[in-house]
Structure 1
Amino acid sequence: MKRVTGIGGIFFKSKDPKKLTEWYQKHLGLETNPYGATFEWYENSGDTKKAQTQWTPFSETTKYFEPSTKEFMINYRVENLDALVEELKKEGVTILDGIETYDYGKFVHILDAEGNKIELWEPID
């Protein structure tokens, strides 16, 4: 069974997310949106199926990364999130919440071996 298929997003804390996003837009040319920036790419070489990776600065006071105390959180793209969560439970991985479904995909949060919060995302393409 495939597990992680790519990086779905990079999220990190910032003193001023709006100002930082504007800096990246001005100086590094990121095409920004209210959520940061979205990078589009293709699943496989020669493929027509687009995928995306999200880049988002969060407020330094966000609670979204808890219980991790780190300044960042990585979102990994996965296939078949339901089956993966069942396997992770069997392997003793800490699952922080239930799978939530939105119009752009399914999400769940887990902890890695060092207590870093990780977001798993099965996109709806």
Structure 2
Amino acid sequence: MKKVTGIGGVFFKCKDPKKMTEWYKNNLGLNTNPWGGATFEWFEGTDSTKKGTTQWQPFPEATKYFEPSTQDFMINYRVENLEELVEQLKKNGVTIVDTIQTVDFGKFIHILDAEGNKVELWEPKD
């Protein structure tokens, strides 16, 4: 079973997300959206007709979204078959932070890695 298929996003805390977004837009040319994030499109190597995306997103320094981790970042991994993966992770004793959430662009769940870093798993609806 294929598990992680790519990086779905990179999220980090900062003192001023709007200022950070503008800096990256002005200095590195990120094409940001109204929420301050940027979407990078790419095509899968195994199927060059299948497009994927990776998100880049600054968060407010005081965000609680990364909790219970105390780190200033969170990585989002694209996965296949999230339900099956979650069952396997539970059998492996992995800490599952919440339940699977389904939104317009896919399914999400959060887990903790071996050092307590919060990890977001995303099964995209491409």
* Same fold (TM > 0.5): yes
Give per-residue Cα distances to partners, 1:17-56, cap 9 Å, x unaligned.
0110010000001111123100000012661111000000
* Cα RMSD for the two superposed structures: 0.9
Tell whether 2:61 aligns with 1:83: no
How many positions carry a matched residue from both structures? 125
The equivalent of 1:104 in structure 2 is 105
| Stretches (4+) displaced over 3 A | none
For residues 47 and 20 of structure 1, the distance between their equivalents in structure 2, rounded to whole angstroms, comes to 33
SS in 1 for 2:59: strand
For residues 111 and 41 of structure 1, the distance between their equivalents in structure 2, rounded to whole angstroms, comes to 28
The equivalent of 1:11 in structure 2 is 11
TM-score, normalising length from structure 1? 0.97
For residues 34 and 52 of structure 2, the distance between their equivalents in structure 1, rounded to whole angstroms, comes to 19
For residues 65 and 30 of structure 1, the distance between their equivalents in structure 2, rounded to whole angstroms, comes to 23
Q: What 5-or-longer segments of structure 2 have no aligned partner?
A: none
Whichever residue aligns with residue 125 of structure 2, its letter is: I
Matches within 5 A, 1:28-107: 28-35=28-35, 36-44=37-45, 47-107=48-108
Shift of 1:93: 0.3
Q: Which has the higher mean CA deviation after the structures are superposed, 68-77 or 44-53? A: 44-53
Alpha-carbon spacing, 1:55–1:6, altered in 2? closer, same or farther (3 Å): same
Q: What 5-or-longer segments of structure 1 have no aligned partner?
A: none
